[in-house]
Amino acid sequence: MLSSAHLHYAYPEAGQQHTVLRDISFSLAKGERVALVGRSGSGKSTLLNVLAGIDVPTQGEVQIAQTPITRLQEPALTLFRRQHIGFIYQQFNLIPTLTLAENMLLPLELLGLSRAEQQQRLKYWLDAVQLAGRAAAFPDQLSGGEQQRVAIARALIHQPALVLADEPTGNLDATSGARVLELLFELTRETLQTLLVVTHSAVVAAKADRVLVLRAGQLENATADAAQHMDGVGW
């Protein structure tokens, strides 16, 4: 479903190239749920951004659903992302001036779905993330856990094949974090969506089919000591 071959990412600073990702090659099967762990600064968010086509790698290739996205130009790249990728952030990233329903409908509007189809999907997803009845609320009227559930619905509502989540429970207490996580894993399992979730949490990693470890920009083989990269029981 996804494969990356010999990815490198570097950025220029003070006349020098700083390497963040080195020779990253791996693949994810359809429906696989994989955790990506590693110390702060090891390059996890950068890797997610490169996989999503937000950051452009200095070398290497990413293929998603047989499309070599690293060879796409704008506007094809943005269109591909809108159709095939869902992104969930630690800070929820909801649009504060839009209601919960409007936030959730945004990806469908961008894809030009009919009003009727939009309303049908909205109803389904409001139920799926247990927020029916809150459609007219604004993000700042919701708790952190509720906001992240809206963000999950927004990431899944257009049925993307690939879901990328960057520390989705990082800003939540244990109870809300557990609920958000349960939903994310359950909803992506039903639809056989591929999930790559960056986490510092051993609880999250334990739910994944597989754990990838980044160390200073390089991927290690998953080892029993993957736990040393996480914060134990915390979120």
Ligand X SMILES: Nc1ncnc2c1ncn2[C@@H]1O[C@H](COP(=O)(O)OP(=O)(O)OP(=O)(O)O)[C@@H](O)[C@H]1O
Provide the minimum distance between the beta carbon of 198 and ligand X in the complex, in angstroms, as a whole number: 7
Provide the minimum distance between the beta carbon of 217 and ligand X in the complex, in angstroms, as a whole number: 7
Nearer to ligand X, 40 or 114 (CB): 40
Q: 213 near 198, Cβ under 8 Å?
A: no
Beta bridge partners of 61: 5
Provide the token pair at 167.
């520390």
Provide the minimum distance between the beta carbon of 147 and ligand X in the complex, in angstroms, as a whole number: 19
Three-class secondary structure of residue 2 per DSSP: strand
Nearer to ligand X, 17 or 159 (CB): 17
Nearer to ligand X, 157 or 208 (CB): 208
- CA 80 from chain centre, in angstroms, equals 15
Mask: binding to Mg ion, 29-48, rule CB under 5 A, as x and -? ----------------x---
| C-alpha–C-alpha distance, residues 108 and 143, integer Å | 24
For ligand X, the binding residues (CB under 6 A) are 11, 20, 38, 40-46
Q: 124 near 156, Cβ under 8 Å?
A: no
Cis ω on the peptide bond leading into residue 107 (within 30° of 0)?
no
Residues 6+ apart with CB under 8 A from 65: 1, 2, 84, 161, 162
Q: Is 199 in the site for Mg ion (CB under 5 A)?
A: no
Provide the minimum distance between the beta carbon of 13 and ligand X in the complex, in angstroms, as a whole number: 6
Between vectors from CA 78 to CA 72 and to CA 84, what angle results, nearest 5°?
A: 90
Binds 42: which of ligand X, Mg ion, none (CB < 5-8 Å by kind)? ligand X
Binds 188: which of Mg ion, ligand X, none (CB < 5-8 Å by kind)? none
From the CB of residue 152, how many other CB atoms can be counted at a distance below 10 Å?
26
Nearer to Mg ion, 53 or 131 (CB): 53
Q: Is 193 in the site for Mg ion (CB under 5 A)?
A: no
Binds 46: which of Mg ion, ligand X, none (CB < 5-8 Å by kind)? ligand X
Which residues are near Mg ion by CB under 5 A?
A: 45
